[in-house]
């Protein structure tokens, strides 16, 4: 005992304490995430979890990125735990990542907890999160189905026009009165259009099943995205209110709804009478069964979830923005007959107006996350394999090297002196490259037909000339307008 005491007495406690501090600092430094790319200091284990959570939860994501850009430059990074997330801005680098070198950044980050959780809830990878050969097979089928059964077919155009007539009927009942639920009308129309394409029938606008379906879609889009910090650390649901619960419940409800319809289709399937997307899938599933297992029941379910979720809210939100802009700038179009897709080439100013609305509104500010599939570079910075890349669409749409006065509303920027459409390559609301939205053609048809027909039929205006309109959106997974009111009078 005396020997031990004597030994301890001889130790320099100050030196020991200093050694422990240096040892701890060394361990922390060695485990701290490192990158050549500018960005906020990242902590061991957690990375920049507070900032990532703030990015996911703030309704002002564009302003958040603007502030980060002021501090770190147009290309910066954050860490979600061990995962590096790089934000890429400006048309040169965004188009490089998405299109010119799109194959280097083609994958989705299905290795991070937020994506894994979504796949677990949905029952597997769909078109959105699948990678490799699985993604190629599902995308090829979806595009073929759109061509064979959807876009360009008179039956689809008639379905869209019937939905437009339903909206017209609703607006005529409210002509001259205050309207505050235009988004609800738009989402009923867009939901019904994708519903008829996938399931073969539409609902009446007052149907309770349609209302429940729309509520489900709202829940899916109201939750945080795949980069949610709570996906990595679930306890943050309690601490930061970064809550995935609402979104998970939305996916679960939609999954049950789709499963019911798939079962009914399998029971009534007739290969001589292909009714919709599901029937086409059942045919392909049987034909491909000997060559691949990709087109299976789980993939059908998840692909429909992805198509349904992507094809409803974004279109309705873009239309909601469209009529907000029109009550601010009403002199776009006059009365006329029902507009069809064949009229598109003769309505270049209407087309340019819709393009300008998409450029300014930025319903989708950033693309879904991409992943570097190999070690590469962007703008001279090293990008290790599996780095998560977030290209900024809004940075392209507001890039001053492309657009003169980019914050000003000017449809003429998309027209030349011959009234032909120009500058299309810099308008990318559906992203670009291999991962471009598979429903782009359908969405463009819907937007043009609904927007132009309603403008031909109604004059939209402020309820009170003194109403102050806000064009600063509220960003969740999509960016929606702040609440506004308008009135619609027959032309």
User: What dihedral do alpha carbons 88, 130, 430, 96 form, nearest 10°?
Assistant: 40
* 437 known ligand binder: yes
**Considering only CA atoms, which of 44, 49, 48 is closest in space to residue 27?**
44
Phi and psi angles of residue 371, each rounded to the nearest 5 degrees, phi first? -135, 135
Q: Name every residue whose Cβ is closer than 8 Å to that of residue 109 and which is 6 or more positions away in sequence.
A: 83, 115, 226, 369, 370, 371, 386, 388
Between CA 6 and CA 9 the distance in angstroms is: 5
Asked if residue 365 lies in contact with residue 393, where contact means CB atoms within 8 angstroms, the answer is yes
Residue 113 CB neighbour total at 10 angstroms: 19
C-alpha neighbours within 13 Å on the C-beta side of residue 330:
13
Between CA 400 and CA 414 the distance in angstroms is: 15
Phi and psi angles of residue 97, each rounded to the nearest 5 degrees, phi first? -70, -45
Residue 230 CB neighbour total at 10 angstroms: 26
Beta bridge partners of 366: 392
Between CA 191 and CA 93 the distance in angstroms is: 34
Distances (CA, A) of 74 to 53, 67, 390, 422: 20, 10, 12, 27
**Considering only CA atoms, which of 71, 3, 5 is closest in space to residue 38?**
71
Spell out the alpha helix ranges (H) of 123-207.
132-145, 154-173, 182-199
End-to-end CA distance of the chain: 102
**Considering only CA atoms, which of 134, 133, 104, 106 is closest in space to residue 119?**
134
Beta bridge partners of 47: 43, 80
**Residues contributing to the annotated binding site for heme:** 437
Q: Which residues are annotated binding-site positions?
A: 437
């Amino acid at each position: 005992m005396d020997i031990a005491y004597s030994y301890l007495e001889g130790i320099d406690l100050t030196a020991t304490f200093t050694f422990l501090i240096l040892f701890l600092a060394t361990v922390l430094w060695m485990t701290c995430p490192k990158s050549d790319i500018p960005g906020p200091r990242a902590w061991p284990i957690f990375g920049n979890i507070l900032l990532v959570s703030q990015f996911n939860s703030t309704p002002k994501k564009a302003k958040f990125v603007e502030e980060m850009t002021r501090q770190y430059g147009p290309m910066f990074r954050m860490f979600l735990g061990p995962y590096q997330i790089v934000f890429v801005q400006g048309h040169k680098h965004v188009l490089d990542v998405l299109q010119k070198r799109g194959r280097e950044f083609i994958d989705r980050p299905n290795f991070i907890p937020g994506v894994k959780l979504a796949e677990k809830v949905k029952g597997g990878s769909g078109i959105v999160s699948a990678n490799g050969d699985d993604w190629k097979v599902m995308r090829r089928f979806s595009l073929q189905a759109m061509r064979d059964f959807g876009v360009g077919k008179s039956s689809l155009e008639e379905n869209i026009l019937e939905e437009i007539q339903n909206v017209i009927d609703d607006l005529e009942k409210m002509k001259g009165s205050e309207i505050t639920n235009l988004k609800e009308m738009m989402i009923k129309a867009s939901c019904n259009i994708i519903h008829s394409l996938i399931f073969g029938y539409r609902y009446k606008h007052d149907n309770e099943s349609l209302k429940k379906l729309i509520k489900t879609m709202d829940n899916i889009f109201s939750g945080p995205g795949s980069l949610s910090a709570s996906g990595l650390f679930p306890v943050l649901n309690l601490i930061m209110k970064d809550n995935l619960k609402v979104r998970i419940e939305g996916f679960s409800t939609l999954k049950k709804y789709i499963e019911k319809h798939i079962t009914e289709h399998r029971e009534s399937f007739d290969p001589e009478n292909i009714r919709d997307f599901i029937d086409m899938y059942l045919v392909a599933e049987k034909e491909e069964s000997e060559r691949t297992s990709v087109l299976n029941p789980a993939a059908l379910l998840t692909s429909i979830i992805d198509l349904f979720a992507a094809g409803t809210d974004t279109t309705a939100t873009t239309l909601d923005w469209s009529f907000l802009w029109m009550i601010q700038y009403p002199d776009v179009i006059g009365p006329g007959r029902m507009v069809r897709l064949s009229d598109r080439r003769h309505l270049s100013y209407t087309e340019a107006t819709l393009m300008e609305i998409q450029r300014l509104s930025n319903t989708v500010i950033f693309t879904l996350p991409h992943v570097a599939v190999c070690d590469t570079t962007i703008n001279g910075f090293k990008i290790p394999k599996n780095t998560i890349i977030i290209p900024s669409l809004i940075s392209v749409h507001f890039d001053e090297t492309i657009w003169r006065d980019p914050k000003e509303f000017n449809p003429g920027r998309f027209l030349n002196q011959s009234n032909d459409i120009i500058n299309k390559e810099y308008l990318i609301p559906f992203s670009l490259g291999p991962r471009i939205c598979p429903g782009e053609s359908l969405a463009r048809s819907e937007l043009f037909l609904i927007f132009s027909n309603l403008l031909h039929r109604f004059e939209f205006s402020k309820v009170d000339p003194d109403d102050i309109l806000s064009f600063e959106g509220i960003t969740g997974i999509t960016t929606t307008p702040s609440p506004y009111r308008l009135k619609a009078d027959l032309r």
